[in-house]
Structure 1
Amino acid sequence: MTIKTLLKTTAAFGALLAVTASVAAQETTLTIGTVNNSDMVRMQGLTDAFTQEHPDIALNWVTLEENILRQRVTTDIATNGGQFDVMTIGTYEVPIWAKQDWLKPLDDLGEDYDKDDLIPAIANALSVDGTLYAAPFYAESVLTLYRKDLLEKAGLEMPEQPTWDFIAEAAEKMTDKEAGVYGICLRGKPGWGENMAFLGNMARSFGANYFDANWQPQFESEGWKKAVTLYVDLMTKYGPPGAASNGFNENLSLFGQGKCGMWMDASVAASFVTDPEQSQVPDQVGFAPAPCGVENCPNDGFNWLWAWSLAIPASSEKAEAAQTFISWATSKAYLELVAEKEGWANVPPGTRTSLYENPDYIAAAPFAEATLNAINNADPSITDDKPYVGLQFAAVPEFQGLGTAVGQQMAAALSGSSTVDQALAQSQAIATREMTRGGYIK
C-alpha cells in the first residue's frame, strides 16, 4: 500500500468515525407530552439552547390540547404504555400516581438545581413522603383580571376583596355588546381541569365542597346551587357567545383582544394579557383576588393551587436523560434564558422563591405580588369539612372521570340544553354512583 493510498484510507476511516460519533451523539431521543399553553409553546422555541448543551439528547414533542393531553397521559401511564419519556402533569396526578409507583422519583436533578428554592406550597404538592416526583414548570393560583378603563367608565372601583355581588354589578355595567365587549368571561369548556376547575372554586366561595366530611357529594347543596345559578346567569347575560366551548386559551385570546371586562382564572394569564405583543389592552389590566360569595370572607380568600409540572413515567427507559431535560427546563438558568429572550415579565411564574426576590422581575411584573399571595394562601390540605386534599379538585382517582362527567352537565346548563337544577341533580347522581363504586360511601 502506498503512502497516498494509506492516507486516503485513513481519511475515509476518520470520516466514518465522525459520522458514527454524530449518530451516537443523537442516540437518546426523549418523547415529551405537553399542553398547548403559551409557556409550554415558548419552551419548545427555546430548546435549541438545551440541545446545544446536550447534543446527545434529541427532543420529540407531542403538544396537545389540555383535555386530550390528560386523556393520553393517563391512559399511557395506567397501561404502562411507554409512549412518553417526560409527561406534563399537574398537582392532581402527582401524589396519586407516585403512590401507585407510576412515576420515577426526581433524585438526580444536579448539584446546582437548588430544590430548596422551590416555593414550599408547590414543592409539597409535588412530593410524596418528602420525595419530589415532578418538577414545576410554572405554578398558579387564581386572580380576578379586569379592565381598569372599563371599570372606571362604569363608575366603579374594584374592592380590595371583591364579592360576587360586586362582580355581577360590574359585569352588567361593563357590557357593551354592540362594541363587542362582554362584562365577564369564564371557562365553559367541559372537563375536570377546565370548567370544573373554575366552578369547583366558585362553589367553595359560596361555602360548598365537592364532598362533605363523609364523602357524600355536595352538588345539590345550597352553595353549589347559588354558584352555578349565578354562573349561568352572568354568562348568559354578560358573557361572550359560545361560552360553553371556551376554556383557558379561548378566554385568554378574548381578553387579549379587549373583549372581556373581567376574567377570573389562572394567575399565569397575567403575563400574557399585560404583554404589548400579545394583548391589545396591556396597560389597562388590574388584578384582584378571587371573589367571595359568603359574607365573612376568610383571610386566605378562595384560591386554587396548580402547577404544570414535568415528570418521568416508570415505563421510560431513559430516566437519566429525562432528568437532565427536566432539570434544565425548571431551573433558575431557564428563567434567566426566558428573561434574556422575552423579558422578565414573561418568565414562567410561581415556582421559585428567588424569582419573587428578584428586583428585575418585581419591576417588570405588576402581578407578581398578587400571584405569590394567592399561591401562599392556598391550602389544599384535608379539613374538618372536606376529607380530601385539593381545592379546585379532589385528589382521589375517581375525580378525573366524575369531574369530567359533571363538567359536561355544567356545560349543558350554560348552553341552555338543561336547567341548573337538572344539571346539579344529574351531577349528584353521577358522583354518588362513582363514590359508591369506589367504596367511599355505602
Structure 2
Amino acid sequence: MSVTIRGLVSAGFMAALSVAASAETITVATVNNGDMIRMQGLMSEFKALHPDIDVEWVTLEENVLRQRVTTDIATQGGQYDVLTIGNYEVPIWAKQGWLLPLEKLGDDYDAADILPAVAASVSLDGKLYAVPFYAESSMLMYRTDLIEKAGLKMPENPTWEFVREAAEKMTDKGAGVFGICLRGKAGWGENMALLPAMSNSMGARMFDMDWKPQFDSPEWKKTIDTYLDLMTNFGPPGASSNGFNETLALFQTGKCGMWIDATVASSFISNPKDSTVADKVGFAKSPSGEGIDNHGNWLWSWNLAIPKTSKKADAAQAFVAWATSKAYLDLVAKKVGIANVPPGTRTSLYENPEYLKAAPFAKVTLDAIMAANTQKPSVQDVPYTGGQFVAIPEYQAIGTAVGQQFSAALAGSVTGDAARATAQQLATREMTRGGYIK
C-alpha cells in the first residue's frame, strides 16, 4: 500500500514538474497606477485558470513606461508580450502594423459590452487592437467639509472663476491644506493631460486649421495664467514634481481642497482603506471658462495590447482577455468591494444597481466619458481629433517638450509668457519637420 501511495505521489510530483517545465512566460509592461498594482495581487486567480502561463511584470512610472514601450515597438525589439498603452497610441501603432488584432478573446468575452466611445478609440477599421483595462474622463473632486466651511456650494456647472474663489477660501497653509492640487510634473501624459483639456475649456485650441500652433493665442495665455495663479497662490509646494500618483496621495491625506483630474481617482479617494477623507468627498463636472460651453472632458483609457513581435501571442491574448473581462470585474468586486472595480469600460457595470449604489462617483464618471467630444475637442475649428492630446504621431514629442516648459514656469524658473513663447517655437519646429506647416 505504501509503495502505491509513493508511486502516486511521485506521479503527481512529476506531473506538476511537467506543467511547470512547459509553462510559457509572458512579459507584461504596465504602469504603476493603483488598478494595475491590484491586478498583480490577483495573479493566483489567473494562474489557477491558466497553469501553463507564467506572467512576468515590468511595472514602471508613467513617463518611463511610455518611453520604454515606444522605443521597444518602434525598433521591433520584442522585449514585451503585452503592452499597457493609451488610446493615443493604439490607432497610430495599429496603422503602422505594430499591433496584433485581438481576435481570440473567447466566446464569453462580450466585446460588444465595451462602452462604444472607448471601443472606437482602440479600434482601426472595425477591429480591436487593444482592450481597455480602465477608462476615464476628467472631473472636479472636492472636500465637502471644506467647501461648506468656506460658505460655498458647488455649482452644477462650475467655472474656473468659481474654482479660484473656492481655492482661496479653502486654503489654510498653516494647517497644511491647499485649496487646489493639480498636476505639475512634465510629460505629455502628466501636466500635458491637464493643460490641453483646461485650454479647451478656456476656448483655446492646440493648432489652427493650417496646423499652426496656438500657444501664443489669448486663450492659451488665459489658460497658463489661470493655472499658475491657482497653483502659486493656493497649491502645494513643489508641485512641479507632482504627477497623478503624487497628487492622489496629497488628496488622500487631506492636503487638498479640490483636485481636477482623472475620474479613475474617485474610487481611491472614496475608499476608507486608502483615504483619510473618504467620507468627505464630492464630485462635479470639470470647470469651464465663463460663457464657454466646454468642460474640457478628456477621454483616456489604459489598454492592453499585443505587439506583433510577440512570439507568445496566444498566451498573451489569454491574459489580456482575463484581465479585461467581466469576470475580472466580478473578481475585484468580490475581493475588495464593487466600488473599487476598474471603471469606465463596460456598459453592464453602469447598469448594475449594486455598483451605482456603492459608487457615488459612477454617474459623474459615465456622464463625463459620454460628454467627451474627441472629434471636436475645441469650441474653435480644428484639423485634429483627440481631447487632452492631438491624435498625430508628432504629438508625443511636442507634448513632452512643451510640458517641460510649463513645469518650469510652475517651478518659477521662467515666466508663463516665456514658457508659452518657447512652447510656440518648439511646436512650430516639430510641425514644420513633420510637413504639416509648409
TM-score range for the pair, normalised by the shorter chain length = over 0.9
The offset of 1:379, in angstroms, is: 1.5
The SS at the match of 1:261 is strand
Deviations 1:247-302 (A, max 9, x none): 0000100000010000000000000000000001111111111100141424xx32
TM-score by length of 1: 0.95
1:243 corresponds to: 239
* Structure 1 residue 313 corresponds to structure 2 residue 310: no
* Structure 1 residue 30 corresponds to structure 2 residue 22: no
The structure 1 residue matched to 2:131, chosen from 120, 123, 135, is 135
Q: Residues 168 and 24 (structure 1 numbering): CA distance in 2 closer, same or farther, change over 3 Å?
A: same
The structure 2 residue matched to 1:188, chosen from 176, 184, 188, is 184
* Structure 1 residue 233 corresponds to structure 2 residue 229: yes
The SS at the match of 1:105 is coil
CA distance in 1, matches of 2:401, 2:113: 38
Counterpart code for 2:306: I
Runs of 4+ in 1 over 2 A off after TM superposition: 6-20, 22-25
CA root-mean-square deviation:
1.9
The offset of 1:13, in angstroms, is: 9.0
CA distance in 1, matches of 2:392, 2:44: 38
The offset of 1:387, in angstroms, is: 1.2
Question: How many residues in Structure 1 have an aligned counterpart in Structure 2?
Answer: 435
Point out the more displaced range, 268-277 or 285-294: 285-294
1:377 corresponds to: 371
Counterpart code for 1:351: T
Point out the more displaced range, 347-356 or 13-22: 13-22
The structure 2 residue matched to 1:86, chosen from 79, 82, 91, is 82
* Structure 1 residue 202 corresponds to structure 2 residue 198: yes
The SS at the match of 2:437 is coil
The structure 1 residue matched to 2:316, chosen from 322, 328, 331, is 322
CA distance in 1, matches of 2:360, 2:330: 18
Counterpart code for 1:398: E
CA distance in 1, matches of 2:148, 2:8: 76
Mark the runs of 5 or more structure 2 residues left unpaired by the alignment: none
Counterpart code for 1:102: W
The offset of 1:197, in angstroms, is: 0.5
Deviations 1:180-205 (A, max 9, x none): 00000000000000001000001111
The structure 2 residue matched to 1:21, chosen from 18, 23, 27, is 18
2:425 corresponds to: 429
CA distance in 1, matches of 2:46, 2:409: 46
The offset of 1:42, in angstroms, is: 0.2
CA distance in 2, matches of 1:8, 1:297: 76
The offset of 1:388, in angstroms, is: 1.3
TM-score by length of 2: 0.96
The structure 1 residue matched to 2:289, chosen from 286, 293, 311, is 293
Mark the runs of 5 or more structure 1 residues left unpaired by the alignment: 1-5
The structure 2 residue matched to 1:269, chosen from 262, 265, 269, is 265
* Structure 1 residue 56 corresponds to structure 2 residue 52: yes
* % identity of equivalent residues: 63
The SS at the match of 1:183 is strand
CA distance in 2, matches of 1:387, 1:127: 21
The SS at the match of 1:58 is strand
Q: Residues 150 and 20 (structure 1 numbering): CA distance in 2 closer, same or farther, change over 3 Å?
A: closer
CA distance in 1, matches of 2:376, 2:433: 22
